[in-house]
A = this chain, B = another copy of it.
């Protein structure tokens, strides 16, 4: 019988092995699902979050923009204030300006502090940008607010940190706020709900690759 040839018994053996591997996988995944389902069942609170993206690695602002995209997908209204960017046109600005009814977009900076070299003007611009942020933080019709690079304005003391914390804490209950930028102040990390440090493992810039559209702006 063909099933008795060495070849086919080997095939059967390896099929049993595959079946075993699949069954082991299934059992492992059932156990994992049980643990995860329990965790999900106990996480029942729904409220607006403060999400903080800090650290020196790539992905802080872009992650904020990704959440803006998700909010737009759910037909929510979004407010964006960019505290440092504004001196040059960016991909996100060009794109988001296509949806004026869904996104209010303000790029109010004039570049990084080493480009402006004018502290008084930086302070003025940062505070004008915060006035805009305040308007969003008092408007319950806005579901998600992105305060891009606000950490830098706080780190250089361009903004009063107590004012910023008070405005964040007094915002509408279900509103999400995303704060980004290097050098996050401990007091902001303290009040944030979800904090991610974008840790640089490797960066193309250090291998001589310049900042490029799509990736950096």
Contacts and interface: CB of A to CB of B under 8 A. Distances in A.
B207 A193 contact: yes
Contact of A214 (B71, B90, B120): B71
Contact of A73 (B57, B95, B116): B95
A211 B43 contact: yes
Interface stretch (A3-11, A46-54, A164-172): A46-54
Contacts of A117: 25-26, 29-30, 33
B119 A92 contact: no
A66 B65 CA distance: 5
Counted per complex, copies of this chain come to 2
A116 to B, nearest CB: 8
The interface centre, meaning the residue of A21, A45, A69, A201 with most chain B CB atoms within 10 A of its CB, is A69
Interface of A: 21-22, 25-26, 29-30, 32-33, 36, 39-40, 42-47, 49, 51-55, 57-74, 76, 90-96, 113-120, 143-144, 176, 189, 192-205, 207-215, 217
23 contacts: A22-B119, A29-B116, A30-B117, A36-B114, A40-B210, A43-B209, A44-B208, A57-B196, A59-B59, A59-B60, A59-B198, A63-B66, A64-B66, A68-B69, A70-B91, A70-B213, A70-B214, A70-B215, A71-B213, A73-B94, A176-B212, A194-B203, A195-B201
